Structures are given as C-alpha cells and as structure tokens.
C-alpha cells in the first residue's frame, strides 16, 4: 500500500486522515484489524506517540475500536462515522463558509414551507417568544442568541429531523461568522421585520409565502457569501 510520510510529526491529525483515506479506499475494510502501533509508525514514518493519539481520536469518532489483547479494528459502521468526521472537518474550514451558507439557503426556505403546515400552537409560541425577546435589544450577543432561537424554533416546527440535525451541526460556525463581520444594529433591525413576516406567513399556513419570506431574509443577510448568482 502507498502512504505519504508525515512531514509534521506533531500533527497526529494527519495520521488520522491517512488512516481514514485507507479505510475509504478499502485498504482497511470495515471489521478488519489495523496494523500494530509499531507497524503504523513505520508505515507513516512517524513516532508511535503520534499514532497513539491518532487512534484515540478515531476511537472517539467511532471510526475504530480497540479490544485489550486483540488489537484495534475498523468499526463495522466506519463509513458512517467517517461521513460525520468529514462534515466536522468542513465546518472548521473557514474557506468553506460560503458552501455552508448555500446549504442553509437551500434548507431553511424548505423548512419554512413545511412549518407553515406542520407547526403546532407550541411552535408558534416559541417563535413569538423569540421575536418578543428581540425587541429593544442592543447587545450583539443577545441579538445572535434570539435570532438563533427563532430559527431553531422554526426548524423544529418543520418536523423534519434530518433538516433539524444538519442545521444544528453547522449553526455554531455560522454564528461565529455573523459575530465576526456583518451583524450590525441596522441588519438586526431589518431581521426583526423579516422574522415577523416569516412568522405571519406560518401562522396563516401559507407555505409558499413562508418559503419566499425566508429566502428573501437569508438572501439579504448572506448575499456576500453566495457565489452562485442563481441563489
């Protein structure tokens, strides 16, 4: 098998990434036993301590499992765990923020469409509470928190677990982005009106209008991060 020597011996993440690559190309198959720690160290031309740390990180991610006296094995559901690992890597990559914003622009209007027909009275109350909390707020951290509260309540109202869980996985990175640059009082005041328009459409059970208002809202806030003019 061909592997690349690890240049930076402090970066155990590079070892983990290469083990993942070998699992992806079926060099190490699900359920198979990994080479020993010493063999992996020789393979990657790196110290055993870095290999040990890499294995620990892969264990925590559910990609490999270790059994005393038997060795380390590729998990039976390693490919599923690797998909989560890859998403985590993407989320931490600031250059990928535009892609995450595009995903949000695709998912949230659909969530608003669904929420307009699936929302409960409790969902409506949670969205109203978030909007009520927004009024008169000047502190940036509170702006972020109450805006997030509204979007989370709306997503929950969609009753689509896949949309909810995926959004949760990228929301912290998006919040950091908003905190760093464009969130101003002017943007926040505009968002307050947009949120109310979205909620009004959901209360009226108007799926088409709810979807449209969510799309307009996201486009106003995130247009600078969208590279595709069709969005």
Q: Which of 115-124, 139-148, 178-187 has the lowest mean pLDDT?
A: 178-187
Q: Looking at residue 207, which CATH number applies to its domain? A: 1.20.120.530
Mean pLDDT value of segment 40-65: 90
Tokens encoding 50: 């870095």
What is the share, in percent, of the chain residues with pLDDT greater than 90? 42
Distances (CA, A) of 41 to 20, 100, 108: 15, 36, 46
Q: Looking at residue 75, which CATH number applies to its domain? A: 1.10.10.10
What is the share, in percent, of the chain residues with pLDDT greater than 70? 77
| Residue whose C-alpha is closest to residue 178's, from 198, 148, 150, 156 | 148
Look at residue 5 and tell me if it is in a domain: no
**204/120 same-domain check:** yes
**73/100 same-domain check:** no
Tell me if the pTM is above 0.75. Answer: no
- State phi, psi for 74 to the nearest 5 degrees: -70, 130
CA distance 179 to 210: 26
Give kind and range of the element (H or E) at residue 153.
helix 140-158
Q: Tell me which residue has tokens 């943007």.
A: 187
Q: Would you say 187 and 82 are in contact if contact means Cβ atoms under 8 Å apart?
A: no
Look at residue 88 and tell me if it is in a domain: no
User: Would you mind telling me the total number of residues written for the chain in this entry?
Assistant: 231
Q: Would you say 210 and 202 are in contact if contact means Cβ atoms under 8 Å apart?
A: yes
Count of domains for the chain = 2
- At 91 the pLDDT is 59
Give kind and range of the element (H or E) at residue 65.
strand 64-67
**100/189 same-domain check:** yes
**118/152 same-domain check:** yes
CA distance 91 to 96: 7
69: exposed, middle or buried (Cβ count in 10 Å: 0-12, 13-18, 19+): exposed
For 62-106, the pLDDT digits (tens) are 899 988 888 999 999 888 888 767 666 665 665 566 777 788 888
Single residue among 38, 57, 83 that ends a domain in this structure: 83
* 207-222 vs 97-118: helix crossing angle, rounded to 10: 160
Q: Tell me which residue has tokens 């699900």.
A: 30
- At 181 the pLDDT is 52
Look at residue 136 and tell me if it is in a domain: yes
Q: Which of 14-23, 37-46, 129-138, 174-183 has the lowest mean pLDDT?
A: 174-183
Look at residue 91 and tell me if it is in a domain: no
| Residue whose C-alpha is closest to residue 74's, from 85, 86, 59, 60 | 59
Domain that holds residue 192: 96-225
Q: Which of 123-127, 196-200, 218-222, 226-230 has the lowest mean pLDDT?
A: 226-230
């Amino acid at each position: 098998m061909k592997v690349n020597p690890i240049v930076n011996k402090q970066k155990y993440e590079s070892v983990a990434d290469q083990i993942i690559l070998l699992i992806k190309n079926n060099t190490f198959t699900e359920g198979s036993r990994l080479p020993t720690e010493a063999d992996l160290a020789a393979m990657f031309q790196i110290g055993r301590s870095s290999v040990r740390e890499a294995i620990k990180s892969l264990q925590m991610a559910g990609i490999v499992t270790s059994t005393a006296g038997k060795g380390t094995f590729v998990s039976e559901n390693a490919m599923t765990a690797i998909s989560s690992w890859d998403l985590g890597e993407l989320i931490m990559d600031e250059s990928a923020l535009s892609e995450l914003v595009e995903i949000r622009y695709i998912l949230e209007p659909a969530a608003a469409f669904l929420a307009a027909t699936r929302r409960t009275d409790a969902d409506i109350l949670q969205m109203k509470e978030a909007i009520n909390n927004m009024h008169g707020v000047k502190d940036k951290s509170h702006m972020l928190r109450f805006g997030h509260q509204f979007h989370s309540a709306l997503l929950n109202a969609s009753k689509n677990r896949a949309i909810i869980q995926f959004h949760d996985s990228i929301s912290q990175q998006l919040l950091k982005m908003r905190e760093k640059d464009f969130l101003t009082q002017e943007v926040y005041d505009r968002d307050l009106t947009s949120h109310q328009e979205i909620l009004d459409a959901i209360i009226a059970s108007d799926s088409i209008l709810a979807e449209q208002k969510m799309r307009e809202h996201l486009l106003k806030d995130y247009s600078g991060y969208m590279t595709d003019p069709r969005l």
